[in-house]
Each structure stands twice: as C-alpha cells, then as structure tokens.
Structure 1
Amino acid sequence: MGIRLAEAVDRESVEAIVKAAYDPWTPVIGVEPLPLTADYAELIEAGLVYVLENERTIDALIVLRPEDDVLLVENVAVNPDRQGRGLGRRLLTFAEFRARSLGLPAVRLYTNEKMISNIGLYESLGYRETDRAGIDDRSVVHMRKRL
C-alpha cells in the first residue's frame, strides 16, 4: 500500500471515492459537502491530490494545499468499503510529513459542524478547534495541529 501523487487517469476513481464517502453526509448537513463541488481534474493537474492505493486500486485520497504558514488538508476521503482500517489516519500522517518537508509548522483543516464523528477523530489526532465560520452556506469548524 502506497501514497503517490494522483495523475489525470485517476480522476474518475478519485471522484467516485469522494462521492461515495461524502454523499451520506448530504442529508445530515442539508447541502452537498464542499468536497462534492470540487473540480478534481483541476486539483490533480495542480498537483494537490495524493492517492493511497493497494495493488493498483485507489482506496483513499487527500487534497493538500500549501498556504503561507500552514498546510491545508482540503479533503480526506476513504472508500466506504475500506473505512475503519486506518487509511484516513495514514493520510493525515502523510499530510504532517508533507508539511514538515515544506517547512510549514502546522496543518489545518475544516469540517462541517454537523460531522461530529469527524471532529472527534481530528481531536483524537491532536487537532484543536480554532474557529467556527460559514463557507458557502455551510457552518464549518476550523481545526489546526502544530507540528
């Protein structure tokens, strides 16, 4: 199992995993989660998407966007039939590695305030809430982890 930069040929797999992972949240939050609205062809072209694959099958992905003083985890998605195996945690550990390699002292992310299980997971991994705000008619919790 390895993590690599996504390529154009991975777009359909990436989009399918994002859809499968986030669709169940739509009725919970009342609107489509932001990852469902992203342009993955553009993100892949920009070199922001990493995939975790097992024997050439993509099981999960992470979108990482460097900012001035932090690495933004824009999206983490795990194929639902592969959830519960630590793949999301592995990708978040990879994000920390990338941040350090870029000389960035922290990683940040945001999640919808109604995604309570995600907030708990991020807190268990050392992320702390920094703010609550609105993004495109969604209420989100901003979180940060100092490295």
Structure 2
Amino acid sequence: MSDITIRRLDDGFDPWDELLDLILTSFAYMNGRIDPPSSALALTPANLKAKALNEIAYAALDGEQLVGCIFCRPEAESLYVGKLAVLPAAQGKGIGKRLLALAEATARDLGLKDLRLETRIELIDNHATFTAWGFRKTTENRHAGFDRTTSIEMRKAIA
C-alpha cells in the first residue's frame, strides 16, 4: 500500500457509487450474522451523498482507490461515529485508526467530550478491536421490534 491520503467528503467528491461499494464490501461479512440486517444495505449513492454532506465524513484513498471511510455526527456531548469502513484487503494497516484519530480531533475541535459508536451484539471481534482502541462498553440497546439486545454502545473519552 502506498501513502494513504484522507480527504473530507464535500460537493467536490464524485465517486459515490464507489464509496457505496466500499461500505457494502467492508460490511459484507455481517450479512447473515446480524439481525436486523445492517442499515448499510439501505444506502444508495444519493442518500450516501446527502448523509456525507449533512455529517462530517472522510474518505481514505490509496492513490485513486477508495480504501476507507468514516461518518461523524455531532451530538450534545459526543461525536457519533458511524459507517467506519475499511476494505478487507486494506485492513490491518492502520487506516481505521487514522480515521478514528481524525474523528477524535474533530470532537476536540467541537468541544465534545467523547466519541460514541454502536456495534452489533454478534460482532464480538469488533467489540475487541474497539476496546483495544480505547473504547468501553456503556450500554446495551435493542432495535425496534426486538425483545433482545441487538447492539452495544461504546464510548471513548477525548483527552
């Protein structure tokens, strides 16, 4: 992998189809493992663009190839992190950590006290990764219509 560059997603960004493919490819391992299915499956290029422009979103590129992304939404006290995705072939190279470091810097700039994310209860490998990155489990949640825990919330304090 050559040098990875990270850019903010704005009106000048065009390959929304490619970004959607990146997210769907990165989240494909969840298909059949989580219930309800990932909200990523409902994304389209148009609503992905709207999401990026309404939130704070970044893409990681290896040359011209999209290899990762992160979407952040400011809340009252936290920066919510969603759709953190890295192509499977690019995982383990620090791209996810770089994107989260950018989220931390964004939270600091906005005066927010922590990062907040949700991950599905079935994805224990994600729980371990986020714990290793300084997140801690704060609560369990359930999706509408479910009588069991379907996700956990994790937070990371911003120094």
Q: Of residues 11, 22, 26 in structure 1, which corresponds to 2:31?
A: 26
TM-score, normalised relative to structure 2: 0.85
In 2: Cα distance, 1:31 partner to 1:23 partner: 14
Q: Secondary structure at the match of 2:142?
A: strand
Counterpart amino acid of 1:140? S
In 1: Cα distance, 2:29 partner to 2:136 partner: 25
Q: Secondary structure at the match of 2:37?
A: coil
Aligned residue in 1 for 2:125: 117
User: Runs of 5+ in structure 2 lacking a partner?
Assistant: none
User: Runs of 5+ in structure 1 lacking a partner?
Assistant: none
Aligned residue in 2 for 1:55: 63
Aligned residue in 2 for 1:41: 49
Deviation for aligned residue 1:55? 1.3
Are 1:87 and 2:95 matched, yes or no? yes
Deviation for aligned residue 1:121? 0.4
Deviation for aligned residue 1:37? 2.5
In 1: Cα distance, 2:67 partner to 2:54 partner: 21
Aligned residue in 2 for 1:145: 156
How many residues get paired? 147
Q: State the structure with more CA Rg.
A: 2
Which stretch of the first structure deviates more once superposed, 46-55 or 108-117? 46-55
Contact 2:72 2:103 in 1 (8 A): yes
Moved over 6 A (4+): none
Percent of matched pairs sharing the same residue: 27
Aligned residue in 1 for 2:77: 69
Contact 1:107 1:144 in 2 (8 A): yes
Deviation for aligned residue 1:45? 2.6
Contact 1:23 1:32 in 2 (8 A): no
Counterpart amino acid of 1:142? E
Which stretch of the first structure deviates more once superposed, 100-109 or 32-41? 32-41
Q: Secondary structure at the match of 1:9?
A: coil
Deviation for aligned residue 1:123? 0.5
Deviation for aligned residue 1:75? 1.6
Post-superposition CA distance 1:43-89 (Å, at most 9, x none): 12324321011212211000100111110001200111111211111
